[in-house]
């Protein structure tokens, strides 16, 4: 469903653009995400679009479920791009959002589409399953756009020297 709705294999993307896909199952919920990225010559990453399909059984409140997955795309962006916990002499360096940055509106996905699979099976979880497929789909999209695999997070540590940009 998500590949079809995202136009996987059907949309022509420009230079420095790519699509990535990943799927995940937890809490009896199946989730698949397609993330589109644009990487410019300086290695700056934008996320024009995210598509996510969710099979969580009978969805009791569709709007709140969609909102949960929209928020997960922003949180997943934060985790992937800048989320890092470090320690010095056994003490955590990050204490709050001042030193643990989260995605700002200009870094968040521009468009997020959430597709709920119609089902009559018992309701399943929708709180946790949204983030796990986003991050690898995001990294796969960066690979599709640049040819560089992200093997460690956060991505900010991979950007030094514009390492994401193809020569």
pLDDT computed for residue 164 by the predictor: 60
With 60 as the cut, is the pLDDT of residue 163 above it?
no
Q: What are phi and psi of 159, to 5 degrees?
A: -90, -10
pLDDT tens per residue across span 120-154: 999 999 989 989 999 999 999 999 999 999 999 99
Instruction: Give the domain ranges of the chain.
Output: 2-148
Q: DSSP alpha helices (H): ranges in 7-103?
A: 62-81
pLDDT tens per residue across span 5-25: 999 999 889 999 999 999 999
pLDDT computed for residue 166 by the predictor: 45
pTM of the predicted model as reported, rounded to 2 decimal places: 0.91
Distance separating alpha carbons of residues 163 and 167, to the nearest angstrom: 10
- Per residue, the 3-state secondary structure of 3-20, as one string, reads HHHHCCCCCCCCCCEEEE
With 80 as the cut, is the pLDDT of residue 167 above it?
no
**Is residue 71 packed enough to be buried (19+ CB in 10 Å), middle (13-18) or exposed (0-12)?**
middle
pLDDT computed for residue 108 by the predictor: 96
Establish whether the linkage from the previous residue to 119 is cis, with ω within 30° of 0: no
pLDDT computed for residue 98 by the predictor: 87
pLDDT tens per residue across span 74-84: 999 999 999 99
CATH hierarchy code of domain 2-148: 3.30.365.10
pLDDT computed for residue 42 by the predictor: 87
CA neighbor of 134 nearest in space, from 164, 101, 103, 157: 103
CA 127 to chain centre: 15
Q: Cβ(101)–Cβ(82) under 8 Å?
A: yes
SS3 112: strand
pLDDT tens per residue across span 30-78: 999 999 999 998 889 999 999 999 999 999 999 999 999 999 999 999 9
- Mean pLDDT across 90-113: 93
157 contact partners, CB below 8 Å, separation of at least 6? 84
């Amino acid at each position: 469903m998500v590949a079809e709705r995202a136009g996987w294999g059907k949309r022509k993307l420009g230079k420095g653009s790519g699509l990535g896909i990943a799927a995940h199952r937890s809490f009896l919920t199946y989730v698949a995400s397609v993330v589109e990225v644009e990487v410019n010559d300086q290695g700056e990453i934008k996320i024009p679009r995210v598509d996510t399909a969710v099979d969580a059984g009978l969805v009791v409140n569709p709007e709140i479920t969609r909102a949960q997955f929209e928020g997960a795309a922003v949180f997943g962006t934060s985790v992937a791009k800048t989320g890092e916990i470090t320690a010095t002499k056994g003490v955590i360096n990050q204490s709050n959002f001042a030193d643990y940055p989260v995605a700002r509106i200009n870094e968040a996905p521009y468009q997020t589409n959430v597709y709920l699979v119609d089902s009559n099976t018992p309701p399943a979880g929708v709180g946790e399953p949204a983030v796990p497929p986003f991050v690898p789909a995001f990294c796969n999209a960066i690979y599709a756009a640049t040819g560089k695999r992200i093997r460690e997070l956060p991505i900010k540590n991979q950007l030094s020297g514009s390492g994401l940009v193809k020569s």
